[in-house]
Amino acid sequence: MSVPQTSGTYNFQPSMGEAVLYAYGLCGIRATALTQQHYESARLATNFMMARWSAKGVNLWQVQQGCISLVQGCSTYQLPTNTIVLLDSYIGQNNGTAEIDRLIFSISRTEYASFPNKSQQGFPTCFWFDRLLSPSVTLWPVPDGTVTTFKYYYLRQTQDSVYSNGTQMELPVYFLEAYVMGLAWRLALTWAPTQAPVLKPLADEAYNDAADQNVETATQYISPQVGGYYRT
């Protein structure tokens, strides 16, 4: 049985310019017909599309880890401006030989407002993520000096799509087709309206296939808490 002659490489990552040409081709617009206005429309369309994808859910390739050094008596800390949402968060405490992490959980603005003593110091057990244009996180109880760091995972904004120097899109390979199909549909709304109804279901199908793959594969266990059923 012969061994198939394959490339042995994994370098397929088209530039944004190549993706735009392909997307316009799906709209039925030849590359020779493209003008500067076509390219500017595509630049806006792709950045709007990536912004919407950030709103649709957690894109695993955009999840990063952050760490903030805590100060005694300081409850509120600034987060990177490209933060979309905070995910898992935990407090690090140095016990003299190692830093021990303890998971803490998010609360709403209303719940934080209900705390009577917002300056109470102690080991933080919860946090409020204030989703401003310059986002921040507020810990409660306020760090008392015995804890050292606030560590967190966060979903960040996708990097901008640009044409210069053959720049590529910030995407894993399994999202590339969803990208060009979604871009083609958006461009068709302006430049080839008759093609838009044809491209829309294809774009949705490509996105759903990619989103189905964009999940963690860890085992999940669900079990009831039965301690409350028994009296001592």
Per-residue pLDDT tens over the stretch 192-214: 999 999 999 999 999 999 999 99
pLDDT for residue 226 is more than 60: no
Distances (CA, A) of 200 to 23, 104, 165: 13, 42, 31
Q: How confident is the model at residue 227 (pLDDT cuts 50, 70, 90)?
A: low
Mean of the per-residue pLDDT values for the chain? Answer: 91
DSSP sequence for 166-200: GPBPS--GGGHHHHHHHHHHHHHHHH-TTTHHHHH
Cis peptide before 143 (omega within 30 of 0): no
In the chain, where the domains are located: 16-58+166-211, 63-156
- CA count, 13 A, side-chain hemisphere, 149: 13
Closest CA relative to residue 86, chosen from 136, 148, 142: 136
Predicted structure pTM score: 0.85
Q: How confident is the model at residue 232 (pLDDT cuts 50, 70, 90)?
A: very low
